[in-house]
């Protein structure tokens, strides 16, 4: 079983318009709702790849109820902890004319100390029977900035491989707790290390505590610095579409590859193919299966000089 943690879950709403025009009324051609937040997106893709997956984190209020109803129909098992606050919403507006997406993200509910304590008890029980865990996304109000570092240490104490995908100070503190894999994007990596040279930055992040670091470079794919070497994996061409959840699909590819003990080049190829196929999908947090099957053998993976 693979466990994904989403402390700041969301109900993802995707609006599709023929053309988005600011300062006027826009008609929406299609509306889709999905359980969201980075870890839930990861879990959805893992389930589609055939892995037993459990999601945990927080859910509350009417939005939380709607999220859990949708989640029940999708496959990942629900181990979310109920809270008094109301789960946030995220809105993606897709402009069909340009292929561009405008994203609006609410901040999330405040989590109380008692609710955090209840989550920790649940997390330790779930970690005891998991094969790997992914810690994903932002921290909601009320959660201390070292929360991910605490969860990494608990996972390591249980001999559980742990992937960390967050940003800012939670990333800085979390990486110092020595997670097995860290997955920042280029901006997050630059803020962490102080350099925008990708290979130097990924190797610097390893020195800060990440056993392996895989950086998302947008259209350029993924760059990995690992104990076994460094590689870059890139799609055959850039694509346009809704990028919501693309990084989460990459996390699912990396985590499934870890559990399946795939060589690093195969993990990276899977992650890039999934990420690109997610950009091409019609709704947030899904991937286009036909595009994935077509892309996977065409991902270029090149080893980087030591």
The reply to whether 248 belongs to the active site is: yes
**C-alpha span between 175 and 51 (Å, rounded):** 26
CB atoms within 10 A of CB 178: 17
| Structure-block tokens of residue 4 | 């994904």
CA atoms within a 13 Å half-sphere pointing along the CA-CB vector of 96: 13
**C-alpha span between 244 and 168 (Å, rounded):** 20
Q: How far is CA 283 from the centre of its chain?
A: 16
Quote the DSSP letter at residue 37.
Answer: S
Contact, 209 vs 179, CB < 8 A? yes
Which residue matches tokens 């940003």?
167
Q: Is the dihedral of CA 276, 279, 281, 284 positive or negative?
A: positive
Q: Which among 228, 248, 288, 294 is annotated as catalytic? A: 248
Catalytic residues: 248
């Amino acid at each position: 079983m693979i466990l994904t943690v989403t402390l700041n879950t969301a109900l993802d709403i995707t609006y599709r318009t023929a053309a988005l025009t600011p300062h006027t009324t826009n008609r929406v051609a299609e509306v889709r709702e999905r359980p969201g937040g980075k870890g839930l997106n990861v879990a959805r893709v893992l389930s589609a790849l055939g892995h037993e997956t459990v999601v945990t984190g927080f859910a509350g209020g009417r939005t939380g109820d709607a999220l859990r109803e949708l989640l029940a129909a999708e496959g990942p098992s629900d181990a979310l902890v109920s809270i008094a606050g109301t789960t946030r919403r995220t809105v993606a507006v897709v402009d069909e004319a340009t292929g561009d997406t405008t994203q609006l993200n609410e901040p999330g509910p405040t989590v109380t100390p008692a609710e955090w304590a209840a989550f920790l008890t649940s997390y330790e029980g779930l970690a005891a029977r998991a094969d790997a865990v992914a810690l994903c996304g932002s921290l909601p109000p009320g959660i201390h900035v070292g929360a991910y570092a605490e969860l990494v240490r608990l996972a390591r104490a249980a001999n559980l491989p742990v992937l960390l995908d967050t940003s800012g100070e939670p990333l800085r503190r979390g990486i110092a707790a020595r997670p097995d894999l860290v997955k920042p994007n280029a901006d997050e990596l630059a803020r962490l290390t102080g350099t925008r040279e990708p290979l130097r930055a990924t190797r610097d992040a390893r020195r800060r505590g990440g056993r392996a670091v895989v950086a998302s470079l947008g259209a350029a794919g993924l760059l990995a610095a690992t104990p076994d070497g460094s590689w870059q994996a890139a799609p055959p061409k850039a694509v346009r579409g809704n990028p919501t959840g693309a990084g989460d699909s990459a996390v699912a590819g990396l985590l499934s590859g870890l559990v399946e003990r795939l060589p690093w080049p195969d993990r990276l190829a899977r992650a890039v193919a999934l990420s690109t196929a997610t950009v091409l999908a019609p709704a947030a947090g899904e991937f286009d299966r036909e595009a994935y099957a077509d892309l996977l053998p065409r991902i270029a993976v090149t080893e980087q000089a030591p």
